[in-house]
Structure 1
Amino acid sequence: MSGISAIGGNMGTVQQIMQMRAELIDRSALLRELHSTRPDSVPGIVGSPGAMQPAGTSFAATLESAMDGVNATQVKSNRITEAYERGEVTDIAAVMLARQESGVAFEATLQVRNKLLNAYQEIMRMGV
């Protein structure tokens, strides 16, 4: 059984969960604030100001823009990691955040690629 019981159960567990929830909300607000005040935000990445595309943009241009954004995220991650290794950057949180952003962007790109391949294969299997 889990640590959370039915209504009227262990109130200490519920209070702990509520406390963890409040901490997560605080951290989320702090991360949003840090992300919005970064001078080096990259256009084309989800959440950055330049992420919105005009309505008439072609699929190829949108895909290219997304790939450029992922590439820029990986380049930034590599640059800040190398700076940390040289001792120029001492904020390990910034380094880890950049690496996580890069990893998430790459994983999302792989998922989109897999979906596109599946859609292409489905189209090729269709009878004419």
Structure 2
Amino acid sequence: MSAIPGLGSGGGIQQILQLRQQIISRNDLLRELHTAPGTDAANPVGGAQQPAGGFASSLQNALNGVSAVQQKSEDLSVAYEKGEVTDVAKVMLARQEAGVAFEATLQVRNKLLSAYQDIMRMGV
């Protein structure tokens, strides 16, 4: 079996294990964010207890979260370009996270627009 180029016998494996651990911890953090109380807009019981602005505030919180993820990604990218951050995996992960958040937001927007158009087409 040949060795993978660029990886030493012990240092490369340690780096891979550290990257794996970082990915797992980020995944756990994302899972916590998605299951955090107050961000579940699909919960009908929570929606019934909130005032009429509950949906709007939930949507605003979600958009603020996406904006924060994108800003963090931009900050890490700029820091990497300046040489302040040397962990390219961290930068790439932040950019992917921002891309996924934006894509999810775009899909939600498309669904809301489609629902609005369906409602407008309904006869009275």
Would you say 1:95 and 2:80 are equivalent positions?
no
Cα deviation 1:54-99 (Å, max 9, x = unaligned) = 7244100000000000000000000000000000000000000000
Question: What TM-score do you get using the length of structure 2 for normalisation?
Answer: 0.67
Aligned length: 95
| DSSP 3-state at the match of 1:53 | coil
Would you say 1:70 and 2:66 are equivalent positions?
yes
Which segment is superposed worse, 50-59 or 73-82?
50-59
What 5-or-longer segments of structure 1 have no aligned partner? 1-25
What 5-or-longer segments of structure 2 have no aligned partner? 1-16, 40-45
Structure 1 CA distance, aligned partners of 2:81 and 2:56? Answer: 37
| Structure 2 counterparts to residues 1-128 of structure 1, below 5 A | 30=21, 31-36=23-28, 47-48=32-33, 51-53=36-38, 55=46, 56-57=49-50, 58-128=54-124
Letter in 1 for 2:103: E
Residue 33 of structure 1: how far off its partner (Å) = 2.7
The structure, 1 or 2, with the larger RCO (C-alpha pairs under 8 Å, 6+ apart) is 2
Partner residue in 1 for 2:9: none
Identity in percent:
54
Letter in 1 for 2:100: V
